[in-house]
Amino acid sequence: MFKKFDEESVSGSQQLKSSVQKAIHRKLAEDFPLIEDYIATILPKKDPFKIIKCHEHIEILARSDGELLFFRQREGQWMPTLRLLHQCKYCSCYITYYI
């Protein structure tokens, strides 16, 4: 999926409305119940998010400072990036789902 990923693979980005941000918060809390307490630190409510649209129907959820957090292909489940997993002290809740 990301084997030959470069700047030309990005087709555009847009800032999300607050209603869409709330829906993503709910979806992440539903999909990953163990991180519900940490969602506010990963995705602060006051911080506007961006969706970066890429080739092959890939969407990347990023903070306003450009840090990439989650990605999904088509309308699938949001998956955390490896960088987010390695930064988190509480990443064991993800590992039980993916390994």
| Gap between the Cα atoms of 34 and 67, Å rounded | 22
Q: pLDDT for 37-75, tens place per residue? A: 778 888 888 888 999 898 888 899 998 888 888 999 888
In angstroms, the Cα distances linking 56 to 13, 31, 65, 74 are 15, 23, 25, 8
Q: Give me the domain span that covers residue 87.
A: 11-98
- Tally the domains of the chain: 1
Which of 48, 81, 85 lies closest to 63 in space, CA to CA?
Answer: 48
In a domain, 66, yes or no: yes
Which of 45, 98, 52, 49 lies closest to 72 in space, CA to CA?
Answer: 52
In a domain, 26, yes or no: yes
> pTM for this one?
0.77
Bridge partners (DSSP) of residue 53 are: 12, 59
